[in-house]
Structure 1
Amino acid sequence: EGISSLLRAMSQPTTGTTELPGQPGDTAPAFAAADIVVVVLYFAFILAVGIWSSIRASRGTIGGYFLAGRSMTWAPIGASLMSSDVGSGSFMGLAGTAAAGGLAVGGFEWNAAWPLLALGWIFVPVYIAAGVVTMPEYLQKRFGGQRIQIYMSVLSLILYIFTKISVDIFAGALFIQMSLGWNLYLSTVLLLAVTAVYTIAGGLTAVIYTDLLQTVIMVVGAFILMFIGFEKVGWYEGLQEKYSTAIPKITVPNTTCHLPRADAFNVLRDPITGDLPWPGLMFGLTVVAVWCWCNDQVMVQRALSAKNLSHAKGGTVFAGYLKLLPVFFIVMPGMISRALFPDEVGCVDPEICKRVCGAAMGCSNIAYPKLVIELMPDGLRGLMIAVMMAALMSTLTSVFNSSSTLFVIDIWQRVRKQASEQELMIVGRVFILIFVVISILWIPVIQTANSGKLFDYIQSVSSYLSPPVTALFILAIFWRRVNEPGAFWGLTAGLAVGVVRMIMDLVYTAPSCGEEDRRPAVLKDVHYLYFALILFALTAVVTIIISLFTPPIPKEKLDSLTWWTRHKKAPAIILENCKSEEAQTKAEDREKDLVETVASGDKEEAAAKPPCWKMVFLWMCGLSTVPTPSLSEEEKAALEQRLTSIEEKPLWRHVCNVSAILLLAVNVFLWAYY
C-alpha cells in the first residue's frame, strides 16, 4: 500500500504547488525509448568492463582476489573510495535531509577529507608494514588472541547488513521502481544478479575498475541534474528565496514544522538547538568518520590494493577532492526539489504524507527521485537511472567483496585450519551468494521501516556501534601500553552501551509534527553525534584503565604494528594467549599468498589446456589453469619485503604532501564560507 501511494505521488504533474499530492488518476511520466536504451547500454558496458578487468586480473590467490594483486594506482583507488561511500542511500538520504533541513548535512561530506588523509598518512603505513589483509587480522597481530579478531569480524558483517546493504538496496530499488514502474523485487534481483556476477568473477580488481567508470557516470549525471535544477529556480540567489518560502498548502495547525529552517543555508549550527549541532558535526562525526574511512574493511581494502604507499596517499587525496562535490550535486538539488515541489517533498500533515509516500513522518526522502522524474529530458532521465544503479552497484560490490574477505580470512580459516587455497577461493564466492540472499530477504524489513528518516537511520546506527572500534584502533596504533584485556573489555563495554542506546531509539520513535516528545531525556536531549563522542571517551577510558592494571605487551612483540615501530621489519611474535603456532602458520600462509600473487604475473608456465567447460568453471571460481609458480627463498624474501615496504620516492612524497595541504585549505575555506 505504501509503495502504491508512493508511485501515485511520484507520477503527478510537475505543477506540484497547484494540486493536492497523491490524487488518484494521475498518469506516470513517460519513460521514453531513449531512456530504456541508455539503461540497457549502461548495463552492457558495466558487464563488459567487469568481465574485461576480471580476465586480466590476478584472481587465483587471496592477495589477487581480495587486494587486486596490490597493483592499483591512485586514480582508481580514489574513485573507488568515493563511489563505495556515496551509494543510492546517500543520494536519497542526503538530498532528503537537505530538503528538510538545509545545507548542514553537507558537513557529513566535507568532514571526510580529514579522516581520508589520516587513512593515507597514518593508518595505511601501519597496515602495510604489518602485512595484513583485514582489519580484524591487524587487531589479532597487535593484541594476540582470537576473541577480538572474531568479535570484530562478526560486528563488521552485522554493520554491513544494517547500515550498508539493506539501506542501499531498498533506496536504489525504490528509486528504480518509481522511475521505471518495475516490480520492487524484480528491480532488486536484477541489480543484485549483475552486481554479484562480476564481483564473484573478478574480485577486487573488477570492483575497482567498475567503480572508476561508475564514479564518472555518477558525477557527470548528477551535475547535469544540478544545472537543470539551478536553472529552474534562478540559480543560488533564486534557491535562497524560493527555499525560504517553500511551504506546503496543507499544514498542521499551531505548529512550525512546515516552515523551512532560518539557518537552512548555514552548515555550522547552534550547539543546543541545532538539528545538526556544530560541535557534533566537527568532532562527534569525526569519530564515526575515522571508523568509516580508516578502520572499515570496505574502505581500507581499497587503499591496501595500492602498488605502493605514494599511490595509497594519492588515492585518499583524490577521494578527498571528490567528497567536496556531493554538497553541490546532491545536497543542493535536494533543497531545489523542496523549492519546486513543496506540497510533496515538504509535506507535514501525516495523512497527506501517507498519501504521497506512505510514510506519515514526512516525504523528504523522495526529493531526489522527484527531481529526476520531473526535470530530466528523455535520454538524460535514463542516464540518471543509470547513475542510481551505479551508486547502488558500487556500494554493493564493495561490501560483497570486503565481507567475503572478512569471512574467509577471519572466520572460515578458524573453522577449517587446513583449508586449501582453492577451497578458500570457492568459499569466498559462495559467501557472496549467501549475502545476496540475505539482502533480498531483508528488503521487507526496510520496506516497512520509516523510510522518511533513511539518512538519520544510517548515521545514528553508525554513531551507536562504531565509536568503540575507532577508540580501539587509535589506541592500538598510538599507545604501545594498551594490551589485549584492555582492548577486549573496552570494546565490549562501549558496544554494550551503544546497543542499549540503539534499542532505545528503536523503541521510542521521534514524534510526528504536532505530537508531544515523550522520549527519555537521553534520547531527546543528547544528539547522536554527541553520543558518539561520549561513547568514544567511555571506551578509551575503560581500555586505558584495564590495560594499566594488567601486564603490558613486551616491546619486541610490537615491531611494525604501531606508528612508532612501523619501520621495524622484524616479524612480531604472536602473543602467548592465542594458539601461537596455528595463528603464526596462518599469518605466514597469507603472506605467502600475497607474495605468490605479485610473482604470478611474471612466472606463469605453460600447461595443457583443460576442456572448455572446466576452464569456465575454474575461471568463475578464481582457480588458475596454470600451475602456481615456484619461487626461491631469496625471491620470496625480496617480494615479501616489497609488499610490506612503506618507503617512498622523495618526489612523490612531496607531491602527495602538497596535494594534501591544498585539499585541507579548500576544505577549510568551504567550511568557513558556508
Structure 2
Amino acid sequence: MWFLPVAFSLYSSNIGSSSFIGLAGSGAAAGIAVGVFEWNAMICLLMLGWLFVPVYLASGIKTMPEFLQRRFPGERIQLYLAVLSLFIYIFTKISADLFSGSLFISLAIPQLNLYVAIIILLSITAAYSVAGGLKAVIYVEALWAKYNCSIPSDYLSPQETANGAACGAVRADFDHVLRAPDADLPWPGAIFGLTIIATWYWCTDQVLVQRCLAAKNLSHVKLGCVIAGLIKVTPVFLMVFPGMISRILFTDEVACVDPDNCKSVCNSRIGCSNIAYPTLILRLLPAGLRGMLMAVMLAALMSSLTSTFNSGATLFTLDIYAKIRKNASQAELLIVSRLTMLALCGISILWLPIVQNSSDGQLFDYIQAITSYLGPPVVTIFVLGIFWPRCNEPGAFWGLLCGLVIGLSKMLLEFTQPTGLCGEALPNPTVLAKMHYLHFAILLAFLTVIIAVTVSLLTRDRKFLPRMTYWTRFSNKKRKSITEFKTKEENTRAEVPKWLKCLIRENKTSSSEEMIEEQPVQKKEHEDPSEILREEKSWNIAANLTAVFLAVACVFLHAYFA
C-alpha cells in the first residue's frame, strides 16, 4: 500500500463502535481530558514509523509473536502472548463492543433489554460473513458556557452526600486535558503512563502494525503514520464534543445521579454517560438518517467482532491447541476454532456486568484500565528486545510472567472492590487499590524492567540475532532458522547459580541460541535489509518534515488545552 491507505487503515482500525460510546461518554461525564488518549497517539505513531517498523521490516517477520519468537527463541513467550491476547480480546474488545452495540440497540428499541439485544446482535454477526463497514462521524461545536451549566435536576450538594462529594456537578477542570496528580486523569499518568500503554497498542499490536508491514517501503510507512497522527486530532471534535453536547441537551438523562432514575434511563445504577452518543443520534436526526447511522455503527461493530473472533480462534487453535495435539487433523482444528468462537462469546457475555458497572459507568475508562493492567509488561519486553541486545529469553519470559501476576493482582483487586454510588461512603481502599490505572502502568513497566534486566544479567549472555534489534537492522549476516540448530552441550554453558536453576529453566529451543554464524554471506534480496529499508531522499525529507510538524501540533494541542 502507499501512504494514504496506510494512514486511513491505521485510523479506521483504531476507531470502532466502542470509541463512539466510550469517548462521548467520558466527554459527557468529565469534559475533554479523555482527548489526551487520542492526541498521545500522535507521538506513538512517530515511534511506530521511525523506531519499531524499521526493525520489523528488517527482521522479515509478519506477526508480533513471530518477532518475539525469533528475538527470544523458544515457545513459552509465544504461548504467553497467545493466552494474554485471548484475555485482552475477552475483557476489552469483545465485551466492550458487545456492550456498546447492544446499548445502541436497546436505546433504539426500548422494548429490548440489554441481553436480548446481545442475542440479536450475535445472531446477526454469526451470519455476517464479510468483514466490512462504514465509519461515520458528526461534526458539532460545543459551548463551554452551556456545558458548565448542564447540572441535572437530581443534583446533590456536598452537604447532602455521605462522603462530602457533589453528585451531578460539572468538574471545574472540564476544559483541561492535563489535570492535577490526584484528579480523574492525573497529568503524570496522562504523560508517562499513557505513553506506555499507547506504545503497546500502536507499536506492538498485530492489528495496527500489520498495516505498516503492508506498505510499499519505509517512506510510505512513515508518511502513513504521520498522516494517521494528524487525523487523530479529530476524535476529540467528532466524539468527545458531541458527548458534551449530549449532556447539555439531555442533562437529566445523560448526567443523572439518582440510582433509581439512572436505572430507568439506561438500566445502570452507576450512571448513564455511556448513552450520550446514541441518545444524541436517536433524538436529533430524522428517521431515515437515524436508521442509516444505526446501521453504520452496527456494521462497524460486526466487522470488529468477526475480526476479533477469527483472531482469537486462530491464536487458540494454532498457538495453543495445535501444540498440545501435534497430530490434529485440519477438520479437528476447524471444529476447535469454531468452538473457540462460541467460548469467547460466552465468557464475554458473562463478563458484561463488570463492563456495565465498572469505572463509574464510563466504558472508555474501563478499556484503558484493563490495558494498563495487562499491556505494560509486553511493551516493556518489546522495547528491551529491540533496544537492549543483552536482554535474553529467560529475562524476557520472567519479566512477562511476573508482570502478568502483578497486573492481574491489581485487576482482581480493582474489580472485587465494591462499586459505590455517587456520594456513598465506602471503606478506605488500600494504596494499591486506589492507585490510578495510569500511575499503575508506570509502576508495572518499571518492575518489569527490573525483573527482565536482573534475570538477563544473571543468566547466560546470548548473542542477539542479526536484524532483530534497532542497532543491527542493517546487518547482512546470515540468520539461520531455529530448527537448523542443536542444543550445545551443558558443559559449554556459563555456570548458573543453583538457586537460579530452580527458578529459571530454559527450554531446549531457547538454549540453542548460539544460532548465528557471525560471518558475512552473499547478499540475497530477502536477507539484505538495505533493500526494504531503502528510502528515496525526497520521500525521506518529506516524511521527516511532516513528522516535525506532527510533533509540534501535538505539543500545541496539549499546551493549548492544558
Structure 1 pair 430/285, CA: closer, same or farther in 2 (3 Å)? farther
- Residue among 240, 265, 272 paired with 1:363: 272
Q: Does 1:269 align with 2:176?
A: no
Tell me what 1:78 maps to: 7
Letter paired with 1:117:
L
Q: Does 1:572 align with 2:479?
A: yes
Partner Cα distance (2:528, 2:124) in 1: 41
Work out the number of aligned pairs and report it.
517
Partner Cα distance (2:455, 2:255) in 1: 51
Letter paired with 1:564:
W
Tell me what 2:466 maps to: 559
Tell me what 1:149 maps to: 78
Tell whether the 8 Å contact from 1:510 to 1:519 is kept in structure 2 after alignment. no
Tell me what 2:137 maps to: 222
The DSSP-based 3-state class of the residue aligned with 2:224 is: helix
Letter paired with 1:271:
P
1:54-203, aligned counterparts within 5 Å? 72-180=1-109, 183-193=116-126, 195=128, 197-199=129-131
Partner Cα distance (1:148, 1:641) in 2: 27
TM superposition shift of 1:388: 1.3
Tell whether the 8 Å contact from 1:283 to 1:533 is kept in structure 2 after alignment. yes
Partner Cα distance (2:457, 2:286) in 1: 65
Partner Cα distance (1:469, 1:325) in 2: 29
Q: Does 1:258 align with 2:163?
A: no
Tell me what 1:526 maps to: 435
TM superposition shift of 1:444: 3.5
TM superposition shift of 1:408: 6.0
TM superposition shift of 1:315: 2.4
Tell me what 1:308 maps to: 217
Tell whether the 8 Å contact from 1:280 to 1:530 is kept in structure 2 after alignment. yes
Tell me what 1:615 maps to: none
Tell whether the 8 Å contact from 2:68 to 2:77 is kept in structure 1 after alignment. yes
Tell me what 2:388 maps to: 479
Letter paired with 1:189:
L
Deviations 1:593-618 (A, max 9, x none): xxxxxxxxxxxxxxxxxxxxxxxxxx
Tell me what 2:537 maps to: 650
Tell me what 1:294 maps to: 203
Q: Does 1:671 align with 2:553?
A: no
1:304-453, aligned counterparts within 5 Å? 304-403=213-312, 406-407=315-316, 410-411=319-320, 414-415=323-324, 423=330, 433-442=338-347, 444-451=349-356, 452-453=361-362
Structure 1 pair 432/246, CA: closer, same or farther in 2 (3 Å)? farther
TM superposition shift of 1:393: 3.5
Which runs of 5 or more structure 2 residues have no equivalent in the other structure?
488-505, 514-521
Tell me what 1:67 maps to: none
Partner Cα distance (2:469, 2:172) in 1: 47
The DSSP-based 3-state class of the residue aligned with 1:256 is: coil
Q: Does 1:246 align with 2:150?
A: yes
TM superposition shift of 1:178: 2.1
Structure 1 pair 148/346, CA: closer, same or farther in 2 (3 Å)? same
Structure 1 pair 657/408, CA: closer, same or farther in 2 (3 Å)? farther
Structure 1 pair 523/251, CA: closer, same or farther in 2 (3 Å)? farther
Letter paired with 1:142:
R
Tell whether the 8 Å contact from 2:269 to 2:421 is kept in structure 1 after alignment. yes
Letter paired with 2:130:
Y
Letter paired with 2:150:
A
User: What do you get for the CA RMSD once the two structures are aligned?
Assistant: 2.9
The DSSP-based 3-state class of the residue aligned with 2:137 is: helix
Structure 1 pair 643/564, CA: closer, same or farther in 2 (3 Å)? closer
Partner Cα distance (2:530, 2:339) in 1: 32
Partner Cα distance (1:390, 1:660) in 2: 34
Tell whether the 8 Å contact from 2:312 to 2:341 is kept in structure 1 after alignment. no
Partner Cα distance (2:524, 2:318) in 1: 23
Tell whether the 8 Å contact from 1:188 to 1:440 is kept in structure 2 after alignment. no
Identity of paired residues, percent? 47
Deviations 1:256-287 (A, max 9, x none): 12110011011111112x11011111110111
Deviates more, 1:313-322 or 1:518-527: 518-527
The DSSP-based 3-state class of the residue aligned with 2:471 is: coil
The DSSP-based 3-state class of the residue aligned with 2:477 is: coil
Tell me what 2:376 maps to: 467
Q: TM-score, normalised by structure 1?
A: 0.71
Letter paired with 1:198:
V
Deviations 1:519-557 (A, max 9, x none): 423255411100000000000011111111111112xx4
TM superposition shift of 1:648: 2.0
Partner Cα distance (2:5, 2:327) in 1: 35
Partner Cα distance (1:570, 1:373) in 2: 61
TM superposition shift of 1:297: 1.8
Structure 1 pair 96/432, CA: closer, same or farther in 2 (3 Å)? farther
The DSSP-based 3-state class of the residue aligned with 1:502 is: helix
Deviations 1:42-86 (A, max 9, x none): xxxxxxxxxxxxxxxxxxxxxxxxxxxxxx332233222222222
The DSSP-based 3-state class of the residue aligned with 2:51 is: helix
Partner Cα distance (2:170, 2:405) in 1: 38
The DSSP-based 3-state class of the residue aligned with 1:222 is: coil
1:12-31, aligned counterparts within 5 Å? none
Partner Cα distance (2:352, 2:237) in 1: 29
TM superposition shift of 1:170: 2.1
Tell me what 1:593 maps to: none
